[in-house]
Amino acid sequence: MTGHWPSQNQDSCSMCPTRAQFKTLQSSVIRLENSVINLENLVKELSEKLYETQLRLQNVEECDCFKSCLVNGTLHSEGSSWKQDCDICSCVHGEVKCRPIHCSIPCKNPEMVANECCPVLQHGQRIKISPKIANRDKCGECVCNDGKTSCKQIIAETMCPQLDCPINEQFTREDQCCRFCAGADFCSVGNDCHSNATCHNLHTEYTCSCNKGFKGDGKICEDLNECDQKGGNDGHHCGQNTICVNTLGSYKCECLPSFRRHNKFECIDIDECSKEVNECNENAICVNTPGGYECLCKPGYERQGLICKRKDISNTK
């Protein structure tokens, strides 16, 4: 009797994968596991890069803050420069570096004065150096000549004028060695007004103003060329038939050729015919014109060159 597997066993076996199917399923699982591993590695790599990026951003922020310079409540950016007292300062990698202002020194051995970073003496200029200005024990006067500064000491007790006002009405000035009374003649005591300027006394000091025909601040005055413009306080007032000629501190109105002066600003025509300063001969009539004259031949005469001669009647028919 031949035996047979029960039918239910046959059905159960029909549900199991074949060897080939098992290998395919096994390969899919391995690939899935590898994909998960690769994904984990990618996530790890991205996390590391994100961390590095955060560190870089933090360094950049710290670098920007570090490169700025905070000075007296003012924030200066990297590479910027500014003037501080008598120095030029710059912000370099977060540090303030300063160097003295470069001065073009007009005099050798110059003297420094208050609120000035560079010497201000020019040729012929004088300044008073008082203890209050230069933080010195001595007081003196300095003058610039030929590029060299020379100074002499002023002893107040013996070299300053005697004052006739009470001590409580006396005062000192930063640019002077001697004391003054209010309303004193400061101009006569000594001033640094230009030679082409006028000194004006004020109540406790003096001021300088350039004379008419000059321009400047009173300490330095330059010639004003009035011929550059017409009219006004700084221009010329020359009239017709004149030409403006600038002079030091003023100007003059020169007459054009064939004109004579009428007043300071105007010139009128010279009548050469009435003055008999023309070159017309006896056979011509002088006719005055603006700025000159003409010689017209008399009737019966004709011009031959520069003179008038009688017409040759024999040649006329």
What are the tens digits of pLDDT across the range 161-188? 777 888 887 777 666 677 778 777 878 8
Per-residue confidence band for 255, with pLDDT thresholds at 50, 70 and 90: very high
Interval 118-136 mean pLDDT? 54
Reply yes or no on whether the pLDDT at 300 is more than 50: yes
Residue 245 clears pLDDT 90, i.e. is over it? yes
Q: At 59, give phi and psi (nearest 5°).
A: -65, -40
pLDDT at 135 over 60: no
Question: Which domain covers residue 263, as residue numbers?
Answer: 224-269
Higher model confidence: residue 153 or residue 107?
153
In a domain, residue 7? The reply is no
pLDDT at 21: 78
- Given this model, what pLDDT does residue 132 score? 45
> Among 64-73, 95-104, 255-264, where is mean pLDDT lowest?
64-73
- Same domain for 149 and 109: yes
Q: What is the pLDDT of residue 247?
A: 93
- Residue 36 is assigned to a structural domain of this protein: no
Q: Is residue 150 part of a domain?
A: yes
Domain boundary among 142, 163, 184: 163
Q: Over pLDDT 70: what percentage of the chain?
A: 76
**Domain harbouring 252, CATH code:** 2.10.25.10
Among 6-20, 59-73, 89-103, 260-274, name the one with the lowest average pLDDT. 6-20
Indicate the residue type of 304: Q
What is the SS3 assignment for the chain? CCCCCCHHHHHHHCCCCCHHHHHHHHHHHHHHHHHHHHHHHHHHHHHHHHHHHHHHHHHHHHHHHHHCEEECCEEECCCCEEEECCEEEEEECCEEEEEECCCCCCCECCCCCCCCCCCCCCCCCEEEECHHHHCCCCCEEEEEECCEEEEEECCHHHHCCCCCCCHHHEECCCCCCCCEECCCCHHHHCCCCCCCEEEEECCCCEEEEECCCEEECCCCEEECCHHHCECCCCCECCCCCEEEEEECCEEEEEECCCEEECCCCCEEECCHHHHCCCCCCCCEEEEEECCEEEEEECCCEEEECCEEEECCHHHCC
With respect to residue 70, please indicate whether it lies within any of the assigned structural domains.
Answer: yes
Is 252 found in the same domain as 236?
A: yes
Report whether pLDDT(48) > 70: yes
Claim to verify: residue 92 and residue 108 sit in the same structural domain: no
pLDDT band at 133 (very low <50, low <70, confident <90, very high): very low
Which of 3-7, 84-88, 227-231 holds the top average pLDDT? 227-231
* Shared-domain flag, residues 110 and 98: no
Residue with more model confidence, 143 or 127: 143
Residue 219 within any structural domain of the chain: no
Which of 61, 87, 102 delimits the end of a domain?
A: 102
Q: Is 28 contained in some domain? A: no
Mean pLDDT comparison of 54-68, 131-145, 223-237, 301-315, highest-scoring range:
223-237
pTM exceeds cut of 0.75: no
Looking at every residue in the chain, the average pLDDT score rounds to 78
Cα 97 from Cα 112, distance rounded (Å): 24
| Residue 41 forms part of a structural domain | no
Residue 181 is assigned to a structural domain of this protein: no
98 and 73 together in one domain: yes
Please give the pLDDT value at position 109. 52
The structural domain count of the chain equals 4
